[in-house]
Amino acid sequence: MSAGQTIAVIDYGMGNLRSVSKALEHVAGGKTVVVTADPAVVAAAERVVFPGQGAMPDCMNELDARGLRAAVLAAAKDKPFLGICVGEQMLFERSDEGDVPALGVFPGNVKRFPDAKMYLPTGERLKVPHMGWNEVRQSPHALWNGIADGSRFYFVHSYFVEPADPALVTGRCEYGVPFTCVAVQFHPEKSARDGLQLLKNFVEWHP
Amino acid sequence: MLAKRIIPCLDVTAGRVVKGTNFVGLRDAGDPIEIARRYNEQGADEVTFLDITASSDQRDIILHIVEACAEQVFIPLTVGGGVRKVEDVRRLLNAGADKVSMNTAAVQNPDLVFDASSKVGSQCIVVAIDAKQVAPGQWHVFTHGGRNDTGLDTIAWAKKVAALGAGEILLTSMDRDGTKNGFDLALTRAVSDAVSIPVIASGGVGNLQHLADGVSEGRADAVLAASIFHFGEYTVRQAKEYMAARGIEVRL
């Protein structure tokens, strides 16, 4: 196995790693999927997936406890890199959740869905967490190849990113307030056919 | 717009899917992985496994089923039954579950809801409530597979688990479970209106109208059913088409 052909899934003790790695294996072709907490393996990988579930302060603590911060920052800058859910949120500067600083790869912050705006025009209340399948409006990007604009993906989150630079946005969703995806806020590994197609596009993406 | 979810539920014991009426009289419905795959192909939004195994020495069987399911079925998987400690939650999540449901243990030790959601995040923690009507407009929480009346008021308990960090409530009417007479809509609506987290309606689905009523009358965020899907009366896709034709937002 050549390290250059591996897809590293970063293991910092948080999140549904097995689901992510199994979905990637399903679409990886000849490439090898490794779940790893080793900065050297991340550095040698061809592309990197940064999943995340749970509370942002715990995620940041666990990342640092494993000495993975530098490897994640380096990979986010120079490799095909896919952040998922909290793995997306951690790429920004600061989160409302626990009021912690994040990795600061992109300018912008992570906000909680505002209680006052969580109603439909009909008056129906919108529940938080935003849980379930919602429509994503696409901005042009190789990740969307073969996926119809407006396709539904599986979300489960109470916080969302507000990027300072609109040019970063690859997709938009609306739930009480409009929010955006730079990496992906939804879970491609749990989004059936379209989710697997997105992961396949990531595996084949050459930025 | 966020779609209302349809969730087939698989009661699993000794590695097989079974189905009973009012929590007794079980009959075999097949292999859990095969059934989960079929529902994924039909467009199910999630799948729930409830491990109804009584003896602890058979508990680990569910871990192998979850592992196999996570390798083949790429939609969210909730697993419940026999969850007593945060460690049980972690084992199920590590095996490939996306959400873990707790019931009796949460009543006995409400701190478990707080501890588990603090550790793995609210989005992973479902509290299952088995409710039975004790007076008009009043329902008690039952535990131990429906044998034990805790005396807890269902609405108050739902609010409490939401405050403790539960991300979702799986609400089963024991009066309706297995009867095919439809959800207890008054119960569903009372709980859904009382909490700001999503509520899954469960217990009593006999036809597609019942599913639509659970959303439109019961104000559920998701509807769960077992026997109408297991025994081939309806496919998940038929259920979604029926709901869409009645103006309910679904993923088709």
**Residue B140 pLDDT exceeds 50:** yes
Phi, psi of B146 (to 5 degrees): 95, 10
Residue of B nearest to A126 (CA): B196
C-alpha A162/C-alpha A180 separation (Å) is: 7
DSSP string computed for chain A = --GGGEEEEE-SS-S-HHHHHHHHHHH-TTPEEEEE--HHHHHH-SEEEE---S-HHHHHHHHHHTT-HHHHHHHHHHS-EEEBTHHHHTTSSEETGGGEE---SSSEEEEEPPGGG-B-TTSPBPPSSEEEEEE-EEPS-GGGTT--TT-EEEEEESEEEEES-GGG--EEEEESEEEEESSBSS-GGGSHHHHHHHHHHHHH---
C-alpha B126/C-alpha B93 separation (Å) is: 13
Average pLDDT over residues A157-165: 92
Model ipTM value: 0.92
Which is more confidently placed, B209 or A55? B209
**Residue A163 pLDDT exceeds 50:** yes
According to the model, what pLDDT value does residue A137 have? 95
Residues of A catalogued as catalytic: 85, 187, 189
Confidence band, pLDDT 50/70/90 cuts, at residue A184:
confident
CB–CB of B70 and A192 under 8 A?
no
Q: Select the highest-mean-pLDDT range: A115-129, A178-192, B151-165.
A: B151-165
Phi, psi of B123 (to 5 degrees): -65, -15
**Residue B81 pLDDT exceeds 80:** yes
**Residue A26 pLDDT exceeds 70:** yes
CB–CB of B74 and A128 under 8 A?
no
DSSP string computed for B152-208 = EEHHHHHHHHHHHT-SEEEEEETTTTTT-S---HHHHHHHHHH-SS-EEEES---SH
**Residue B47 pLDDT exceeds 50:** yes
Instruction: Kindly list the residues of chain A whose beta carbon comes within 8 Å of any beta carbon in chain B.
Output: 16-19, 22-23, 26, 53-55, 58, 115, 118, 125-135, 152, 154-158, 174-175, 187, 189-192, 195-196
How many Å lie between the alpha carbon of A156 and the closest alpha carbon of chain B?
6
**Residue A62 pLDDT exceeds 80:** yes
DSSP letter for B105, please. H
Residue at A139: amino acid letter? S
| B32 prior amide bond cis, ω within 30 | no
Which is more confidently placed, B213 or B227? B213
Average pLDDT over residues A31-40: 96
Q: Can you tell me whether residue B44 is helix, strand or coil?
A: coil
Annotated active-site residue in B11, B45, B177, B221: B11
Strand order, beta sheet including A171-175: A137-138, A171-175, A177-181
pLDDT tens by residue, A133-144: 999 999 999 999
Annotated active-site residue in B51, B130, B184, B221: B130
According to the model, what pLDDT value does residue A1 have? 47
CA distance between the termini of chain B: 13
Of A23, A158, A192, the CB nearest to B40: A192
pLDDT more than 70, % of chain A: 98
**Residue B123 pLDDT exceeds 70:** yes
Which is more confidently placed, B230 or A24? A24
According to the model, what pLDDT value does residue B145 have? 74
CB–CB of B222 and A154 under 8 A?
no
Which residues of chain A are within 8 Å of residue B66 when distances are taken between CB atoms? none
Q: How many residues does chain B have?
A: 252
According to the model, what pLDDT value does residue B24 have? 55
C-alpha B125/C-alpha B83 separation (Å) is: 11
Which residues of chain A are within 8 Å of residue B4 when distances are taken between CB atoms? 132
**Residue A148 pLDDT exceeds 50:** yes
According to the model, what pLDDT value does residue A126 have? 95
Q: Which of B224, B201, B167, B206 is nearest to B39 (CA)?
A: B224
According to the model, what pLDDT value does residue A185 have? 87
How many Å lie between the alpha carbon of A136 and the closest alpha carbon of chain B?
9
- SS3 per-residue string spanning A100-129: EECCCCCCEEEEECCHHHCECCCCCECCCC
pTM as predicted: 0.93
Which is more confidently placed, A110 or B120? A110
Confidence band, pLDDT 50/70/90 cuts, at residue B23:
low
Of A132, A187, A192, the CB nearest to B2: A132
Phi, psi of B217 (to 5 degrees): -95, -40
Q: Is B5 on the interface with A (CB under 8 A)?
A: yes
Residue of B nearest to A137 (CA): B1
Kindly state the tokens that stand for B113.
Answer: 């809801």
| Alpha-carbon distance values, B209 to B40, B155, B238 (Å) | 22, 25, 11
How many Å lie between the alpha carbon of B25 and the closest alpha carbon of chain A?
33
Phi, psi of B83 (to 5 degrees): -80, 115
Residue of B nearest to A136 (CA): B1
Residue of B nearest to A178 (CA): B1
Rg of chain A, C-alpha, whole Å: 16
pLDDT tens by residue, B145-154: 788 999 999 9
CB–CB of A192 and B75 under 8 A?
yes
C-alpha B179/C-alpha A4 separation (Å) is: 58
Average pLDDT over residues B158-182: 96
**Residue B27 pLDDT exceeds 80:** no
